[in-house]
Amino acid sequence: DAKTTQPTSMDCAEGRAANLPCNHSTISGNEYVYWYRQIHSQGPQYIIHGLKNNETNEMASLIITEDRKSSTLILPHATLRDTAVYYCIVRAPNQGGKLIFGQGTELSVKP
C-alpha cells in the first residue's frame, strides 16, 4: 500500500472550514484514499473514501487531485467536537478490510 504523509498537527477556528492535506505521491491506479478520525482514545471512526472523483457526505468532502498524488479532507464548518486525530490511508481493493494507519494529523478546533 502507498505511504501517506500528513502534517503532525493543525489548528482551526470554530465555524471555519478545516482543510486537512495528505500526500500520497506513490499511489497506484487501483488504490483508494480513506479518511478516519479518532477522538481522544476512542475507536477510530470512518469519514469518507474516494478513488478519483471528489466525494461528499454528511461529515466531510474529499478532494483528490487529478494526478491522485494528494488529497484534502474538508470539514466545512468545524466545531469543537471535530477536535481529533485524522488519518489518511491509501489501500488497494481486495485487502479484506485491512487498513494500515499512520500517525495522522491532530486537528485542534479552537473557539
Partner 1 sequence: DADVTQTPRNRITKTGKRIMLECSQTKGHDRMYWYRQDPGLGLQLIYYSFDVKDINKGEISDGYSVSRQAQAKFSLSLESAIPNQTALYFCATSDPGTENTGELFFGEGSRLTVL
Taking the C-alpha atoms of residue 60 and residue 74, their distance in angstroms, rounded to an integer, is 6
45 phi, psi to nearest 5 deg: -125, 130
**Cβ nearer to partner 1, comparing 13 with 56:** 56
- Of 20-39, which residues contact partner 1 (CB under 8 A)? 32, 34, 36
Does 61 contact partner 1 by CB under 8 A?
no
Does 53 contact partner 1 by CB under 8 A?
no
Taking the C-alpha atoms of residue 105 and residue 38, their distance in angstroms, rounded to an integer, is 10
Cell readout for 30 is 487501483
Q: Which position among 5, 13, 39, 46 is part of the footprint of partner 1 (CB under 8 A)?
A: 46
- How many chain residues are in contact with partner 1, going by CB under 8 A? 25
Nearest to 39 by CA among 89, 104, 91, 110: 104
Contacts with partner 1 by CB under 8 A lie at: 32, 34, 36, 41-46, 49, 87, 89, 91, 93-104
